[in-house]
Structure 1
Amino acid sequence: MTAQMESPHVVVLGGGLAGVACALGLGDEGVRVTLVDRNDYHQFQPLLYQVATSQLPAEDIARPHRTIFRDYPTVQIRTADVAEIDAGNLTVTLSDGDRITGTHLVVAAGARPEFFGVPGAAEHAFPLYSVVDAERLRRHLQSTLHAGSAAEPEDEGALDVVVVGGGPTGVEIAGALTELMTALVATERIPKPGTITLVDRGSALLAPFSRKSHKYAHKRLTKQGAEPRLGTGVAAVHADRVELDDGSSIRTRTVIWGGGESAASVVGNVAGLTTGRGGRIDVLPDLTVDGLPHVYAVGDVANIPAKDGTILPQLGSVAQQSGAWAAANILRELHGEKAEPFRYKDKGIMAMIGRNAAVAEVGKHRHQVEGPVAFAAWLGVHALLLSGAHSKTDAFLAWGWDYFDRDHAATVEWSATAHRIAWGDDSADIPHIRVDSARPGDGN
């Protein structure tokens, strides 16, 4: 390091894709970093739906922070809730009263589900934004399916599921559930499949994708047995039914919420931070906050401007790249250089719909591929993005098993919690995933 880099201390708030990428970039250069997160693990959100439907164990998409940074002596991990953020003084106060002050602050606190004021949604719907959410939903589905296996015909809605939101989260969980229901019927564990209804106010599934992908997703989901209801919103959620804004209702005990997200609640009371759409922090092109040159906001907690003046979407690739870019800009500053505007490399978008069914739009002109080719691309990209060789290997084995044995997920769902392969690692390689009995939407 140069003389200008003698005592930098970067406080990174959030250990998701953005926060970890930032801490890794700074740790590679020997910069002192304190990474703060309420969980002791990093979670890979694109695969949450596979945890919820027993295709992967939760441990395979949750990598302990201490394991990730085992070879980074300048990166300190603090597992704690944040009570207060003083952006002007670059200070974070933890729930135990400890205060951490740095020379730079990187806010990468992520997102939380946005229920848009729908009555009963926070109390009765199951969001799918964290490992705890996914595991809670998996346990609920397991309990409901067991109870529904002996349900009388008049027990309407016992096995039916309503998925709110027609984006990648909603489409992927709907596709996985239809396959799970089919497998449970085939193995005679339930008498008939529950109906999977996907509700969205928009006119197409996978709205950010092309019209061709919209049609493909709709056709595949319908063929698998799901019932998309577009142009329809949710008016209220109850313990035993969903009311729609067209006046109809659906009997169900399971409402999965993929209808939107907003910034983590911790940023709502931070003085000096300008928030915009979704309660997210508005940032300048170089990812700093206006008027606070040593404060960065990255990932799902930030409204990151694109070259054309629009806001980049809340995607894992945006989070990962913005976190790494913030680290690079901090290093530039410490070397006396000027920070550079964030340049996002759009590698495309993709969504899994079911076995051999996926859509991917790649390249500058968003070339669309679908079916087995897109399915294989989806598997490869997501396995490579997973943190840790063990997680990648586990995921490939689980996906292979599930692909060749169509009843694998159903067997796991019916028996017990999915177990991770025993690698013989020490306890530091095991994430502490605590699933309490709180109602859905209470937070994790």
Structure 2
Amino acid sequence: MTGQRTGNRNVLVLGGGLAGVACARRLGDEGIGVTLVDRNDYHQFQPLLYQVATSQLPAEDIARPHRVIFRDHPTVETRTARVTELDLAGLGLTLSDGEKISGSHLVIAAGAQPEYFGVPGAAEHAFPLYSVADAVRLRLHVQDLVREVAEKRLGEDALDIVVVGGGPTGVEITGALTELMTALVAMERIPTSGRIFLIDRGSRLLGAFSHRSHQYAHKRLTEHGAEPRLDTGVAAVHADRVELGDGTAIRTRTVIWGGGESAAPVVQAAAGLGTGRGGRVDVLPDLTVDGHPDVYAIGDAANIPAGHHGTLPQLGSVAQQSGDRAAGNILRRRAGQPAKPFHYKDKGIMAMIGRNAAVAEVGKHRHQVDGPLAFAAWLGVHAMLLSGVHSKVDAFMSWAWDYFERDHAAIVEWSTKPHRIVWGDDDADVPHISLGRGDSTTSAGRS
């Protein structure tokens, strides 16, 4: 098949994240042929990556195989392949083996990658948290350090961690790590919890949130032992330390990068594709690419207009809704009707800080809550997101309530895997998670 072009009337969707899956499901519901291409054979639910990284969930619980998602959609074909090139004029993709495929429409939902902003050493030494594989690599790294400290092969300062980025990703992983280390000390597995630093260039945590949320997040994190350092950036990352913009340095073996994201490389490299902030595609109000009415860009691959307020943020709800709208406009075009502009239904913004500690600003008018009520809001929004891709939301919700109601001291047993939500009906329906960096592929066992 090398170099051969395969064309059909299927809609071609690049990316199997929230945006791509929402688009393919909507079209599949209408009996439209879809070919969905993703380098992984699973959909990953990114809002819960920090829980995988801190051993609260096994990776397989947030990685649902595409074949399971689309089992009841016979017109949706899924292909696991790496895409090397986009062809806007030909509505096609080039795969890593040289095969070229095309369709009636091209939907770009390729997601994002970490953005290191040119910081020396960050790409080589930091642990990003943007994929299931990232989360598993971080979990294994921290587990190794814990064991070596427990066995006195490393000093206690080996558990010092630097988190870069004071947005939701940085705040959530910092909160989870402080609870994890505190629990391990209480269980007498390690002698000290280490120091966890949270670095951000801004003057406050959760910059997109309200002043009250900034204060709540800062208070809860510091109460649990985290050490926010604001108004300073990272100048360089080394294997054994982080250099800060104020001239100081922190010795650490673990740097977690939550400092921003940009579009996938294949999107940024595409010829004739107008990209803007973050290397994302600047789209028209109907989510099409200027000059290419049959090409759509959605989710984290796109800069989606927000009226007179710039562009929409990279949120799961934006991704899912944009995927659904892109599918709706494809259906309208096929029916000879004009496309409709995308209008985002704002469900709010939220971040988890720890057990029974969260901030949420819900709805268009940003009604603000924190603590257990905020967690309830967080759970509701994430359950709605999951309902678009997972068939067993009840199982997820049962796990979530159990997790947040039980005693903090029992949160982690590093040698014991948490109970899994089994998304498939047989052993073939499991995700194959490639860790890279010399690690082999892992897949879930039944439970």
Residue 161 of structure 1: aligned partner: 161
| In structure 2, C-alpha distance between the alignment counterparts of 1:120 and 1:347, rounded to whole Å | 37
Q: Is the 8 Å Cα contact of residues 166 and 199 (structure 2) preserved in structure 1?
A: yes
The corresponding residue for 1:4 is none
In structure 2, how many angstroms separate the alpha carbons of the residues matched to 1:127 and 1:424?
28
AA partner of residue 279 (structure 2)? G
Listed as ranges, the matches of 1:97-116 within 5 Å are 97-116=98-117
C-alpha displacement of 1:272: 1.3
Alpha-carbon distance in 2 for matches of 1:215, 1:405: 26
Q: Could you say which residue in structure 1 is the equivalent of 2:86?
A: 85
Aligned residue in 1 for 2:183: 183
Q: TM-score, normalised by structure 1?
A: 0.93
Instruction: Decide whether aligned partners of structure 1 residues 402 and 306 sit closer, same or farther in structure 2, where only a CA change above 3 A counts.
Output: closer
- Compared CA separation, residues 57 and 402, structure 1 to 2 (3 A): farther
Task: Give 1:271 deviation, angstroms.
Answer: 1.2
Alignment-derived partner of residue 402 in structure 2: 400
Alpha carbons 1:383, 1:396 under 8 Å: kept? no
Q: Per-residue CA shift, 1:178-225, capped at 9, x if unaligned?
A: 000110000000001111100000011000101111111111111111
1:410 aligns with 2:412: yes
Write the distance in 1 (CA, Å) between the matches of 2:56 and 2:261: 24
- Counterpart of 1:214 in 2: which secondary structure? helix
* Partners of 1:140 and 1:101 in 2: CA distance: 41
Q: Does the 8 Å CA contact 1:56/1:398 hold for their aligned counterparts?
A: no
Whether the 8 Å CA contact 1:217–1:353 is kept in 2: the answer is: yes
The Cα offsets for residues 314-369 of structure 1, whole Å up to 9 and x where unpaired, read as 11111000010000000011111101111000010111001111000012211110
Match of 2:54 in 1: 53
Aligned residue in 2 for 1:27 = 28
Q: Deviations over 1:215-244 (max 9, x none)?
A: 111111111110100001001111111110
For 2:303, the equivalent position in structure 1 comes to: 303
For 1:100, give the aligned amino acid.
I
The residue that corresponds to 1:374 in the other structure is: 374
Matches within 5 A, 1:12-411: 12-151=13-152, 155=155, 157-386=157-386, 387-390=389-392, 393-394=395-396, 396-397=398-399, 400-401=402-403, 403-411=405-413
Aligned mates of 2:423, 2:366 — CA distance in 1 = 40
CA distance in 1, matches of 2:276, 2:91: 21
Q: For the Cα contact (< 8 Å) 1:56–1:395, is it kept in 2?
A: no
1:53 Cα offset (Å):
0.5
Question: Unpaired segments of 5 or more residues in structure 2?
Answer: 1-7, 440-447
CA contact (8 A) 2:61 2:422 kept: no
Evaluate the alpha carbon distance shift between residue 113 and residue 423 of structure 1 in structure 2; reply closer, same or farther with a 3 A threshold.
Answer: closer
Give me the whole-angstrom Cα distance separating, in 2, the residues matched to 1:227 and 1:120. Answer: 23
Report how far residue 404 of structure 1 moved: 0.8
CA contact (8 A) 1:67 1:428 kept: no
Offset of 1:375 from its aligned partner?
1.6
TM-fit CA distance, 1:270: 1.1
Which SS does the other structure have where 1:212 is aligned?
A: helix
Once the two structures are TM-superposed, the CA of residue 8 in structure 1 deviates from its matched residue by 3.8
The answer to whether the Cα contact below 8 Å between 2:29 and 2:73 also exists between their aligned partners in 1 is yes
Which structure exhibits the higher relative contact order, with contacts defined as CA atoms closer than 8 Å and separated by 6 or more residues? Answer: 1
Confirm or deny: 8 A CA contact 2:355 2:404 kept in the other structure: no
Contact 1:179 1:224 in 2 (8 A): yes
Q: Distance in 1 between matches of 2:423 and 2:360?
A: 33
State, as a whole percentage, how many aligned pairs show the same letter.
Answer: 71
Kept in 2, the 8 Å contact 1:66–1:428? The answer is no
Deviations 1:143-172 (A, max 9, x none): 1111122347x9363001100000000000
CA distance in 1, matches of 2:436, 2:43: 19
CA distance in 2, matches of 1:403, 1:223: 20
Indicate conservation of the 8 Å contact 2:136/2:435, yes or no.
yes
Partners of 2:196 and 2:401 in 1: CA distance: 23
- CA displacement, residues 109-128 of structure 1 (integer Å, 9 cap, x when unaligned): 00000001111100110000
Shift in alpha-carbon separation, 1:438–1:249, aligned structure 2, 3 A: farther
Tell me by how many angstroms 1:436 deviates: 2.9
**Distance of aligned partners of 1:422 and 1:89 in 2 relative to their CA distance in 1, 3 Å threshold:** closer
Letter in 1 for 2:58: P
Q: Aligned residues, how many?
A: 430
Structure 1 regions of 5+ residues with no counterpart? 1-6, 440-444
Return the alpha-carbon distance in structure 1 between the equivalents of residues 354 and 331 of structure 2: 43
Scaled by the length of structure 2, what TM-score is found? Answer: 0.92
The range that moved more, 397-406 or 207-216, is 397-406
Aligned mates of 2:320, 2:372 — CA distance in 1: 27
The structural deviation recorded for 1:433 is 1.1
> Structure 2 vs 1, CA of residues 331 and 424 (structure 1 numbering), >3 Å: closer, same or farther?
closer
Once structures 1 and 2 are overlaid, which stretch shifts more, 92-101 or 278-287? 92-101
- Stretches of 4+ moved more than 4 A in 1? 416-419, 421-424
3-state SS, counterpart of residue 12 of structure 1: strand
After superposition, the CA RMSD in angstroms is 1.8
> Aligned in 2, Cα 1:423/1:287: closer, same or farther, shift over 3 Å?
closer
**Residues 88, 272 of structure 1: 8 Å contact kept:** no
Cα offset, 1:38, TM superposition? 0.3
Matches of 2:421 and 2:10, distance apart in 1: 38
